[in-house]
């Protein structure tokens, strides 16, 4: 019984850590904005040391804006910092700031 509790506690701790890691501020470049549907595509900037990997860009992600007015201040090609949450595989942009 003690082993099962330990496994469940470990799984709960990992899920909390994974959720909070996704909520941290990220950086990227806006590649596309659809103001009619309040969606934005952002090419995430890869974190790490200079020359630490072959590519300079991370994954392209599409997000639904929490508030459509968030998209008014940015344009395709802008570098941004942002925060997002994920629910049921759908990303929702909670914070967007032009760098």
Phi, psi of 98 (to 5 degrees): -70, 135
Summarize pLDDT for 11-51 with one digit per residue, the tens. 555 555 444 445 578 999 999 999 999 999 999 987 665 55
For the 25-98 domain, the top CATH level (class) is mainly beta
pTM of the predicted protein model: 0.66
Longest Cα pair distance anywhere in the chain, in angstroms? Answer: 56
Per-residue pLDDT of 53-86, as tens digits, reads 545 567 889 999 999 999 999 999 999 999 999 8
Round to the nearest angstrom and report the end-to-end CA distance of the chain. Answer: 52
């Amino acid at each position: 019984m003690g082993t099962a509790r330990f496994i469940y506690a470990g799984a709960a701790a990992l899920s909390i850590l994974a959720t909070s890691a996704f909520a941290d501020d990220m950086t990227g470049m806006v590649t596309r904005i659809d103001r009619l549907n309040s969606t934005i595509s952002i090419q995430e900037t890869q974190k790490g040391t200079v020359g630490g990997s072959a590519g300079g860009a991370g994954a392209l992600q599409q997000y639904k804006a929490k508030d459509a007015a968030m998209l008014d201040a940015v344009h395709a090609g802008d570098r941004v910092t942002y925060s997002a949450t994920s629910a049921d595989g759908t990303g929702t942009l909670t914070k967007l700031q032009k760098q």
